[in-house]
Amino acid sequence: MLAPISWLKEYVDLPPLETLVERLNQTGTTVAAIHKFGEGLEAILVGEILEVVPHPNADKLQLATVQIPGKKLSIVCGARNIAAGQKVPVAQIGTSVPVGKDGVPMKIERIKIRDIESEGMLCSAKELGLGDDHSGILILDENLRIGTPLTTALTLPETVLETEVTTNRGDELSIYGLASEIAAVTGAKHTPLKAKSSEVELKSQFKLAVRVADHRLCPRYSAQVVTDLKIGPSPAWMQLRLRESGMRPINNIVDVTNYVMLLTGQPLHAFDYSKVTGGGIIVRESKTGDRVTTLDGVTRLLGFGTIVIADKEKVLGLGGVMGGEDSGIGELTDTVVLESAIFNPVAIRQTAMKYNLRSEASLRFERGVEMAGTVRSLNLAVELLKEYAGGFSASGVIDIYPEKYQPAKVTLTSTKLNQYLGYNLPLVQAEAILTKLGLLTVSRTKDKLIVKVPSWRARDISIEEDLIEEVARVSGYDAIPSSLPTGAIPEATAISAIQLIRTIKDHLTSLGLTEVSVYPMVSESLLGEDVALKISNSISKEWGYLRTSLIPGVTQTAAMNLNLGSDPAIFEVGKVYLPKEADLPYEREALAVIGPDFVTAKGYLESLFEKLNLPAARFSACSAQYFSEDSAATVEVGNKLVGEIGELSPTWAEKTGLHRRLTIAEIDLTELMKLTSSQKSFRSIAKYPSVHEDISIVVAVSTPIGEITDGILLYSGAKYLVSVEAFDIFADPRLGGNKKSVSLSLTFQAEDKTLTDNDVRADRKKIEELLKENFKVKIR
């Protein structure tokens, strides 16, 4: 909220600005900015328009003769709202205005506009930096003396606080509310807001009847008719207050409603009485067929559930959000219904969101407006209308208020207060703080205080903890001594998964791979064949779905880094989201790792499995959606499928922008972690030496090496064979067509003896037989 300091001062004695800001920040009212409103206007003077004539060479321009001390200036002006006798801000040649055409300060120079010289400029509010109003020249109070600097005329510059009000403190969305808060937290003197009640002053009363259809939507509706109004501009001081508070002056009636809202926090609305059929107002929920053109000029077809103010024939406006154009204040309006009502915050919020209509009124209703204050605000507005629009109240105050506000009583015990604070604060001091905040004592014993909640804090304070917060924030959080908790340390919940994942990540980084982290949302085109969860309100097509695989994202990252000239030695660990029927998805922890070729990527995996003390993985050729036909494999560990590896297919390479062949493996870490065991068993090192032998074979290219080595281990019947490992695999046309040469390293060992040549020879013979029979190999 924007709060002009001079306005606050009418209701509270302010400490120096710096002290005030610090205190507000300490106590929960964040001062987001301190603005200087109307700076740099010292050279702008008040001038009087003596004459306005049309510009001889341009239809849209006028020529004004303006009197300033000792000089008459001839000024070309495009605005239509000027007339002889008005006082206006004049920027002479050589001076400058803060907001020129491009939003930056502009120096006024002697120029000719359509062949007529202009000796200065008449200024709009926007050009002076006094708001965004550029619809015409800023018309000043006619009583001002010619030549008065604008800063003196308008008491500028004004310091304006911009506060951030938390959602629970709707009461601070008003000058008076903020002034009350300042008084409470600084202890400064506070001037209460007074309003005279205004009874009927005309003998010929205007009929006003109000029916509230649903009191949950509108718990209080106060209204009064004011007549004999003369529409015109509001007084300059009021216009300035509105501008300082970020609002635009419109006319005296609308300005009064806005002014009172800024002052008290109670949104008011004025309907043209002549547009209210039969003087009967109905507050109800909208129904099918209802339509209204709101003040912003948009015709809205309403569905169910919107609070409308209607008469028996038509909708007059959206209650608490925006009035209707038809029932709004026009140039001919002379009688108004002034509405000061309370609307349901939730309903207002929904309406504001549904029609994308956020107004100063809806903002306040959403945060909650003080139930007890409607009539006071109404009285204030009527008073101002009488003074500045010449009206009379022409009806009694209608006040539909079936459930009167009952202040809640809340208890504060010194036990709990002192527990939260961590030090002993005498209850009387807490009481003093609460009293200043308007939480008046109902009863007090030695260690227990009961207070009642004033209507402006009704939505915010209902339990003891709320009172503790009030006491703590005012007495100061800095005063609370820090002390580490002393209770017993609970046994930690299992974090083995996090530790394992860390081991995995650390291992991969030690291999020279860098971890990347990709947003887990993907575009539809990167989903592949999987069913994925769709985000209903995604903010970009690129992020429409939750990924079901890490591969697309990691590949894109690799492609991008290749383009930047970095070698994509990368991996990612993250969740993939697999939809389930009528339940939250299965969030699987996954690993994706990239290698320049299959052997390297496979090697990363094998070394990782070894690090995790897992059994050797089995890789079996397969076809899979992301990979090229002849370069993909499933990865099995301990007979469980844990992932896939392969060279990215051309289709996916194109989708992800990859211009190089890369191998990617994706591993299901959730499954893999189930296979790891923290129970490591010790195995003593064999006492007897092992014997190593090599066999070189020539075999068909199509025979998988894994099958050969597995075959030897499992089926050869070699008694002492403990391991088989393939090495030195190569093809050579001289071997004959479709053949490859493979060397096998065999290790033999016995637990109970040193092997003899005969032992090994017998085993080797069995192996050779198996190779010849089952794999049709040539042994050299």
Partner 1 sequence: MQAYLVELERKALAEIQSAKTSQDLEGVRIKYLGRKSGKLTQIISELPTLSVAEKRVVGPLINEVKTHLEQALKDALGEVGGAAKPQLPLDVTAPGKKFPVGKLHPVSQAYYEIIEIFKELGFGVAEGPEVEWFWYAFEALNMPENHPAADDFETFYIEARSSKEKGRMLLRPHTSPVQIRVMEQVKPPIRIIAPGRCFRPNYDASHIPSFYQFEGLMVDKGLSIGNLKAVLEYFVRRFFGPDIKIRLRPHHFNFTEPSFEVDITCTVCKGKGCPLCSRTGWLELGGAGMVHPKVFEAVGLDPEEWSGFAWGWGIERCIAIKYQIPDVRVLYENDLRVLRQF
What is the footprint of partner 1 within residues 532-571 (CB under 8 A)? 533-540, 543, 546, 557, 560-561, 564, 566-570
Answer for the pair 338, 300: CB distance below 8 angstroms, yes or no: no
**Which residues ranging from 685 to 704 are in contact with partner 1 (CB under 8 A)?**
696, 698
The residue (of 466 and 606) whose beta carbon lies closer to partner 1 is 466
How many Cα atoms occupy the beta-carbon half-sphere of 210 within 13 Å? Answer: 25
Q: What is the largest CA-CA distance in the chain?
A: 132
Q: What residue has token string 């015990």? A: 413
Among 167, 677, 738, 756, binds partner 1 (CB under 8 A): 167
Among 50, 111, 440, 497, binds partner 1 (CB under 8 A): 497
The residue (of 334 and 693) whose beta carbon lies closer to partner 1 is 693
Q: Which amino acid, residue 21?
A: V
The residue (of 40 and 520) whose beta carbon lies closer to partner 1 is 520
The residue (of 197 and 517) whose beta carbon lies closer to partner 1 is 517
Does the protein bind partner 1 through residue 518 (CB under 8 A)?
A: yes
The residue (of 654 and 694) whose beta carbon lies closer to partner 1 is 694
Q: How far is the CB of 773 from partner 1 (least distance, A)?
A: 19
Q: How far is the CB of 742 from partner 1 (least distance, A)?
A: 10
Q: How far is the CB of 135 from partner 1 (least distance, A)?
A: 32
What whole-number distance in Å separates Cα of residue 724 and Cα of residue 693?
A: 10
Sketch the per residue contact string, 401 through 430, with partner 1: x for CB under 8 A, - otherwise. Answer: ------------------xxxxx-------
**Which residues ranging from 132 to 151 are in contact with partner 1 (CB under 8 A)?**
none
Does the protein bind partner 1 through residue 596 (CB under 8 A)?
A: no
**Which DSSP helix (H) or strand (E) runs through 387?**
helix 374-389
The residue (of 58 and 562) whose beta carbon lies closer to partner 1 is 562
For residue 497, the 8-state DSSP code is: H
Q: How far is the CB of 113 from partner 1 (least distance, A)?
A: 42
What whole-number distance in Å separates Cα of residue 79 and Cα of residue 49?
A: 13
Q: How far is the CB of 434 from partner 1 (least distance, A)?
A: 14
**Which residues ranging from 747 to 776 are in contact with partner 1 (CB under 8 A)?**
none
Our measurement of the distance from residue 51's CA atom to the centroid of its chain's CA atoms, rounded to an integer in Å, reads: 53
The edge-to-edge listing of strands for the beta sheet with 778-779 is 721-730, 739-748, 691-700, 778-779
Q: How far is the CB of 413 from partner 1 (least distance, A)?
A: 11
At a CB cut-off of 8 Å and minimum separation 6, what does 178 contact?
A: 1, 3, 8, 29, 163, 172
Does the protein bind partner 1 through residue 304 (CB under 8 A)?
A: no
Sketch the per residue contact string, 639 through 678, with partner 1: x for CB under 8 A, - otherwise. Answer: ----------------------------------------
Give the chain's radius of gyration (CA, Å): 41
Sign of CA dihedral 278, 281, 287, 290: positive
What whole-number distance in Å separates Cα of residue 344 and Cα of residue 346?
A: 6
What whole-number distance in Å separates Cα of residue 593 and Cα of residue 569?
A: 8
Q: How far is the CB of 422 from partner 1 (least distance, A)?
A: 3
Q: How far apart are the first and last CA of the chain?
A: 90
DSSP 3-state of 395: coil
Sketch the per residue contact string, 327 through 366, with partner 1: x for CB under 8 A, - otherwise. Answer: -------------------x--xx--x-------------
- Cα–Cα distances in Å, from 524 out to 321, 533, 550, 649, 650? 39, 10, 14, 18, 19
Question: How many residues touch partner 1 (CB under 8 A)?
Answer: 97
Q: How far is the CB of 49 from partner 1 (least distance, A)?
A: 44
Among 13, 201, 360, 587, binds partner 1 (CB under 8 A): 587
Does the protein bind partner 1 through residue 576 (CB under 8 A)?
A: no
What whole-number distance in Å separates Cα of residue 372 and Cα of residue 266?
A: 10
Among 332, 498, 685, 714, binds partner 1 (CB under 8 A): 498
Among 237, 477, 688, 715, binds partner 1 (CB under 8 A): 477
Q: Where are the beta strands (DSSP E) in 94-172?
A: 96-97, 106-107, 111-113, 116-118, 121-122, 158-164
**Which residues ranging from 14 to 43 are in contact with partner 1 (CB under 8 A)?**
25-28, 30
Stretch that binds partner 1, among 40-48, 78-86, 243-251, 483-491 (CB under 8 A): 483-491
How many Cα atoms occupy the beta-carbon half-sphere of 364 within 13 Å? Answer: 31
Does the protein bind partner 1 through residue 714 (CB under 8 A)?
A: no
Q: How far is the CB of 431 from partner 1 (least distance, A)?
A: 18
